[in-house]
Structure 1
């Protein structure tokens, strides 16, 4: 008797990272293997599938769909709906659908092993082709112009596929099926080497060889990569590295390095298993590593007075070809002028990098948006993203329609845009299904960077057919991001800087709605009382949020305000003036403490302090670090933010003391006894590593003591100061020993790169409150999240 098989049909809708990862060919192969018919297509929301066949095979299909998905795919949500069988005979891949755009965009992925094998195989038709890629690797976010993710919606639309590439693109069983950047030497982008005048010196493989020869000669070559330009020199060529510093006006800030492979990195640095995994990951970020004594004889000017190097491995075919041929690590620093955005266009680079680069290695694949290299560091056995950019996705939270936690309410809030901070700017938007944090934009200090900031907002809005109804910004009136928000004419929610820091970390660890002790230590942020905050202890609870400032440093004057960021002597002067007042300038030890001030400078600053002219009050922990570094003679002036604090951190040795300076826990933490004790140690000739260790130990003990007083189990650590490895790891260990549960930023930066995400959370909480509950934002002790 013949068995009758009753067919069923099921529609499956998937959201998440399911486009640009080879998901449709995976579905095609799985369905045909299980003898199912139907179809699969990309939609503006993700992937839509209909399968028809035996019930057990359909269930098997659904199970394997999640278990065997492509390695870079992430399924955020899967919904199923029964359909009537249609009897179609085959399984097909249909053209993409249009509709509301919510699907996440996959980040750019480092070159995969299969493509690398082809790249260096003389028998392969893509041998030494610098733009080789497949569905498992290559550019994504840097070339997408619209959704869904199809070739006509990318910057590859101008390159017509040759017959061989088209056959790969059309074949569901090929790993290049619908690989949108698919190309070969016959039909794809091409290299060229330009002089600084724009004259073409060489093309294709000859351009690559000429660029390598120039690097060996000590030339500075501007190389157009995945998301923008690098300025590259041979890392062993000391004169070339120093020349790059002089031309770029970057005297001290460390340069990033690109090594050929992990084995070469291990010769130069200490590399843990986790750090090795990061280096070799598809994100391929810059990883901060403690270096050895420099067995590779790299230039000392790469990272002056810094025990770490920022190292990445090649992540594009072009980089692999350069490093394989050169045989030496390369300095690979961002292709821009100081405070300017990354160059992405070769003609723009000719203008902006004029006088810096000797030659330009360019290609004709347009870059849709600038994307800098990401920076990560392993601390307390966890990965901490310090700069979130290339290789890391935009989506940082899902907002399903069914609300089950405070972050889910972003799905029902009015369309929110958060414009971030002034330094290390990012922007964030809340879509109905997810929250997106932009790539690192930079410091909003020049018109060019402000233009990039505005373009990032407009391009994300266009990409998702989205417009904000409310804008969240920082409370600081002078931030260009704040001024942008106010100029839109839309309703604005001003969010206190340090509250945003804490809320971003809470949201990352799904702590919203719980009671936590939030600690935000950084340089400066505009406080609710009009002073400059930066050493905040908050009690955060409930949803909508209740935030109480429970402790902070005693304020001190900051002569010159923001000028102190690059002049730590001013922070030191503010601390010392807080101890002695006007008597400081006649104190017999004044010149010993602050020898770098001239007589004229001292006279002018003394007048400013006495009259209170341009001397804002600050309670910033970052400025305390700067002041101590200056008093100790480690850094009196600096060329980049955080340099003085870094020197204080690096002054410690592994054999340093466990002793502390006096620093009593209280609502207003009095730093004066600590500074006096440090001055006494300096007078007695105490070793610098001993002094630095005692200072760090004192801060760690302070956090432990305040946590013990408040008895709040969960403690959140955020702000730029917690990029300090000694401070973070010591604090985590101290809190754990006391029975508290510490949390710190990992996938979202601890610095101002997280502010936009925290602003979204704060604004959403504020909008949920009845108007009668929104009290004055200037109430310091029990202020709303405003």
Structure 2
């Protein structure tokens, strides 16, 4: 990985051991030519090269080739040297952007330092990387810092191997580097002195304290920020951003501030303080603090808060004196890509913000904040972006000779993947491709990655859904480049992704895959979403699934939970019969004005009502039954997330072994010639009985979660025994539900199954490009998965 200070590390090590030679970057990585006094010293050098590396460095392989005696050359004169990079075929990567290191944080806080309060301070151990790079090798000329010539002091640091800023490509100071300023929403620059402040950052802090909303240009894009304890400011931000309910991310000065609002485990603290500095979902403290309480509009209906620490000098300076958090949400209107340049921000964000904090260092590559959580004792990524992308994953054993593959992912939470053995390069989170601006950003980022990594695919992998935008682009690319096109079934890709996430070897055999999500195009042409599969990288067969239920209105069912409730009840009992037995159904919030007779006619006639085994729509139906957003949701997954949050209020211990204080609802099994269907009819009967008897909604939500997790695990255990399998692989967006994930893992492992789950890539559709790439590499191009 270039840009991590590896060459100066080699230089220091060689000089300490009395070795001669040189080191340079090239397309293959780092090339070291070493003349050691003896073999013992050479061995020590190689050993310490592996064990004592810079904070951001990673060694995937070390090849050691002794110089043949017949080609022996005399050792070079003088000291060990660092020499210029060579331009060759690219096989290395760009390190992800990294949070400000402690040494740079000290620099900007020290009045005697020439970088005091300089918001673009960095070194080889921290700062922007992917966000500013346009080509490999990662040298200053190939970044957006090329327009800022180094002053004599910075140049001396840059050229001194003993300095921690040696070849730090974004190196700069107030004399030669980027500049920061504050302007109002009309584009007029504001004078910090006129506001009684020493600089633009101090003025921005004062404006935030006064209840203003600011657009702030950061590392990978803009944020919209306000005081998280100011109820009016948060409400204005929601109204302006057209984001009614989706939780806002928060940034706090330090862990002590976070602990006033959340519980914080050592693992969560370590994740927050890691070089990636992601947003981490933390359990909200109850009761909330009475002093400086968060505005109720921060995360409505949720039990968790998304917190991050300041990860750039600008953020460190901005929050230095804040005893409460700031909202730090993406700089965009709802569902649009994050703004990244000043002109765009003046157009798109000025109507949303009272002022803009801008700078003149270009952001070349958009990077959203990564999102993570600790579940079942393990850190897990929910969104992989800043701080993680484009760090490569290594291909599992058996794929080191795999052909290069371009995999284009899915429609929602899109990422794409370049397989270039031994690397798997998964892009940053790009968003939902049904938004035209996101689709354009996807195409630009794909072009950049192919150029950046000089990737020449020999085959292209897409989701087999006929209407996904990424798949349409893949078909066009395959035709233009005359390459084989591999169409990969959505849930097979999910299971292959979790196999790769756990380094499952190509010849390690099949697993039992449990894929639970919203929906994907099934092999039989129907919509899947609750599948039990026998799978490896080459093959996938469906063994069991959630009983299919119609989606009345097609795509509208994903946005209007009441449709799923009616469909589930009508499928199980008949709607009128159910209402006669459980009159409370007719009184559910949101159903009084719903066109139920028209919907029933649609269901009975099979008009625009495709059948689906979707887990996501089952969760939506449950949420509607409990009055959670019965009519319409404001963002994807809202009803299911609030159902989980409600269940957790009745959950005994919200961890690996947590249980509801009541028994779980039962599910039945229907045996068909094609496989086993998990039937929720008994669950609905028990739930509606509880609802009629006034059982608290939290208890009902918890009993559903417990019963569903148990039914899934019991079914998996029985099928695994029947199939002779000992490993259960969990994937799909529904496994971002903490209760479901931890319960299934605990029950399956207690029964003796090995369980694979996601860690490095998201369980949702943000990970399927990884699975597509490996399936395509393992597939004969003349066939499809």
TM-score strictly above 0.5: yes
Secondary structure at the counterpart of residue 208 of structure 1: helix
Paired position in structure 2 for 1:76: 60
Please state how far the C-alpha of 1:584 moved relative to its aligned partner.
5.7
Distance 1:600 1:183 in 2: 61
Partner of 2:3: 20
Match of residue 392 from structure 1? 388
Q: How high is the TM-score relative to the length of structure 1?
A: 0.92
The reply on whether 1:701 has 2:693 as its aligned counterpart is: no
Structure 1 distance, partners of 2:400, 2:358, is 44
Q: Could you say what secondary structure the match of 1:417 adopts?
A: strand
State the partner residue of 2:223.
Answer: 230
Identify which of 615, 622, 625 aligns with 2:616: 622
Worse-superposed segment, 339-348 or 467-476: 467-476
What's the offset of the Cα at 1:582?
A: 6.7
Q: Are 2:586 and 2:592, in contact at CA under 8 Å, matched by a contact in 1? A: no
Q: 1:313 and 2:313 equivalent?
A: no
Aligned pairs (5 A) from 1:716-727:
716-727=729-740
Alignment of 1:79-228 (within 5 A): 79-83=63-67, 84-90=72-78, 91-202=80-191, 206-228=199-221
The residue number in structure 1 matching 2:559 is: 566
Q: SS where residue 321 of structure 2 aligns?
A: helix
Q: Structure 1 residue 342 and structure 2 residue 338: aligned?
A: yes
Q: Given the superposition, is the C-alpha separation of residues 432 and 701 from structure 1 closer, same or farther in structure 2, using an over 3 Å criterion? A: closer
C-alpha displacement of 1:385: 0.3
Report the Cα distance in structure 1 between the residues aligned to 2:585 and 2:12, rounded to whole angstroms.
77
Say whether 1:62 aligns with 2:43.
Answer: no
Partner of 1:43: 26
The structural deviation recorded for 1:684 is 1.1
Shift of 1:767: 2.5
How is 1:662-681 mapped onto 2 (pairs within 5 angstroms)?
Answer: 662-665=666-669, 667-681=676-690
Partner SS for 1:57: helix
Q: 1:592-634 CA deviation, whole Å, 9 max, x = no partner?
A: 2655235572233233223222111111111111101101212
Distance apart, 1:408 and its partner CA? 2.6
Distance 1:156 1:600 in 2: 57
SS at match of 2:307: strand
State the SS of the aligned residue for 2:270. helix
Any residues of structure 2 matched to 1:584-733 within 5 Å, and which? 587=580, 589=583, 592=586, 594-598=588-592, 601-636=595-630, 637-652=632-647, 653-655=650-652, 656-665=660-669, 667-710=676-719, 711=721, 712-733=725-746
Query: Which segments of 5 or more consecutive residues in structure 1 lack a partner in the other structure?
Result: 1-16, 775-784
Q: 2:243 aligns with which of 237, 250, 258?
A: 250
Q: Determine if contact 2:569/2:578 at 8 Å carries over to the other structure.
A: no
Q: 1:741 to 1:611 in 2, by over 3 A?
A: same
* Separation (CA, whole Å) in 2 of partners of 1:33 and 1:580: 79
Q: Is the CA contact 1:556–1:578 (under 8 Å) kept in the aligned structure 2?
A: yes
In structure 2, the residue corresponding to 1:707 is in which secondary structure? helix
Give runs of aligned pairs for residues 744-755 of structure 1, distance below 5 A: 744-755=757-768
Give, in whole Å, the separation in 2 of the partners of 1:725 and 1:585: 32
- Is the contact between residue 585 and residue 606 of structure 1 (CA under 8 Å) also seen in structure 2? no
Contact 2:579 2:586 in 1 (8 A): no
Contact 1:45 1:101 in 2 (8 A): yes
Asked whether the 8 Å contact 1:635–1:647 carries over to 2, the reply is no
Q: Comparing 119-128 with 599-608, which one deviates more in the overlay?
A: 599-608
Contact 1:191 1:203 in 2 (8 A): no
SS at match of 1:76: coil
Tell whether the 8 Å contact from 1:501 to 1:755 is kept in structure 2 after alignment.
Answer: yes
Q: Deviation of residue 491 (structure 1)?
A: 3.1
Q: TM-score, normalised by structure 2?
A: 0.92
Query: 1:522 and 1:593, CA in 2 relative to 1: closer, same or farther beyond 3 A?
Result: farther
Question: Could you report, residue by residue, the CA deviation over 1:100-135 in whole angstroms, capped at 9, with x for unpaired residues?
Answer: 011021111100111111110001000000011011
Which residue, out of 509, 512, 515, partners 2:510? 515
Q: Is the counterpart of residue 32 in structure 1 residue 15 in structure 2?
A: yes
Cα RMSD, aligned residues only: 1.8
Report the alpha carbon displacement of residue 289 of structure 1 after superposing the two structures with TM.
0.4
Partner residue, 1:5: none
CA positional deviation for 1:568: 0.7
- Measured in 2, the distance between the counterparts of 1:393 and 1:632 equals 39
CA distance in 1: counterparts of 2:587 and 2:462, whole angstroms: 40
User: Offset of 1:308 from its aligned partner?
Assistant: 0.9
- Which residue of 550, 570, 580 corresponds with 1:577? 570
Quote the Cα distance in structure 2 between the aligned partners of 1:472 and 1:594: 45
Asked if the contact 1:339/1:445 (under 8 Å) is kept, the reply is no
Which secondary structure does the structure 2 equivalent of 1:324 belong to?
coil
Preserved contact between residue 398 and residue 408 of structure 1 (Cα < 8 Å): no
Moved more, 72-81 or 366-375: 72-81
Matched, 1:358 2:354: yes
1:743 to 756, 760, 767: 756
Q: Is the 8 A contact 2:665 2:708 kept in 1?
A: no
The answer for the alignment partner of 1:375 in structure 2 is 371
**Equivalent in the alignment of 1:500:** 493
